[in-house]
Amino acid sequence: MELTEYHYLPDGLLERSASSLYRQLDGPTLIHLPGIRQQPLFISVLQHGNEDTGWEAVRRLLKNHSSFEPLPRSISLLIGNVEAARFNKRRLDTQLDFNRCWPQKNTSENQSDIHNIFRQVYDIMQAKNPFAAIDIHNNTGLNPHYAAINQLDNRCFRLAALFSNTVVHFTIPEGVLSNAFSNFCPAVTLECGLAGNIHGTDHTLAYLESCLHLAHLDDIPLPGGEMGLFHMVATVKVAANLDIGFGGSDHELSLIDDIDHMNFRELEANTLLGYTHDKTTLPFITTDMHGKDVSGKFFSFTGGEIRTTRPIMPSMLTMDQKVIHQDCLCYLMERMDPQHSRAGHDEPLPELTGLEV
């Protein structure tokens, strides 16, 4: 597998859906398009083959600009996993997860074809000194759109807050595009809700259009209230074999109905999450990013009621019992102060904050 690079838009490409790109492209493809401002906006789509909102938005963006006017700013577009997109899969069984293969510190070269290709893209783009980098994804379940960043930096905050006022800071997993590109430009990972949803495409298109028209990103703090900055602090699992239900209180663990509506909602302390029959053993196993049990820090279990003990924002909450047992019930995020979180301040940042991207 090799990188294909174009300095023009291949004929007919914009007519193709994600699943038919393979008819025209051999694999990862980097396309440079000239615009009035030369520093390019780097846009990455389809690193995960079944997450097509980015491609759908880019098709419309480029069609809007093709006929009547030059692009306001150059674009470098990376189309990632064409093979997986053909089969509407995140990745093929024979492939690595593309968004874990970007250059990072402390890794040797030549780990795989895709590592080598992404090293090439990284070097090409670093030399072009991009204006910003935007990597577009979808996720599953009931989640609002949000932007995720890796650097606590005013320009990253501004790039992210332009998409959503919920911004998540993360440092793991490693090998993520936005983390690598943060070494040389403001970079953001967009999570645009469910794939195939027209609202996600509309929102992403409007965002790309705004970024394309921006003259610069100021390195000054955002006014207060324009961004809620969060980071992952813990994972919540449920004790194995526990019988889980929703609504009522009949099960060993009865979670409230529609608990997935709490995703990305900041819950106040003392919010009720459910009921447990066993009043002595905690049904939740809550661990921090270092694997330490922190259940008591986040939840109380008085009289069989499970309640939060401090303001938290859950994500990935699901009502699928199988997923809860196999994976986890949810992740917990806490609000950070953008200014107090910055380098040089007293309160140290957690070393690891994770996110599924």
| DSSP-based three-state secondary structure for 106 | coil
DSSP states of 124-135: HHHHH--SEEEE
Nearer to Zn ion, 125 or 357 (CB): 357
| DSSP-based three-state secondary structure for 297 | helix
**Is residue 145 close enough to count as binding Zn ion by CB under 5 A?**
no
Scanning the structure block, which residue is given the tokens 């510190």?
105
Q: Cα separations (Å) of 175 from 3, 179, 195, 214, 253?
A: 18, 7, 23, 28, 37
**Is residue 91 close enough to count as binding Zn ion by CB under 5 A?**
no
Size of the site for Zn ion (CB under 5 A): 3
**Is residue 59 close enough to count as binding Zn ion by CB under 5 A?**
no
Binding segment for Zn ion (CB under 5 A), chosen from 36-44, 136-144, 157-165, 264-272, is: 136-144
Q: Per-residue x/- marks for Zn ion, 322-351, CB under 5 A?
A: ------------------------------
Closest by alpha carbon to 200, among 246, 175, 165, 164? 164
Closest by alpha carbon to 294, among 282, 279, 311? 282
Is the C-alpha dihedral spanning 295, 296, 299, 304 positive or negative? positive
- Least distance CB 241 / Zn ion (angstroms): 32
- Least distance CB 276 / Zn ion (angstroms): 34
Nearer to Zn ion, 137 or 231 (CB): 137
- Least distance CB 144 / Zn ion (angstroms): 16
- The CA distance from 229 to 15, in Å, is 38
Nearer to Zn ion, 59 or 137 (CB): 137
- Least distance CB 51 / Zn ion (angstroms): 5
**Is residue 48 close enough to count as binding Zn ion by CB under 5 A?**
yes
**Is residue 137 close enough to count as binding Zn ion by CB under 5 A?**
yes
| DSSP-based three-state secondary structure for 347 | coil
Q: Per-residue x/- marks for Zn ion, 216-245, CB under 5 A?
A: ------------------------------
Footprint on this chain of Zn ion (rule: CB under 5 A): 48, 51, 137
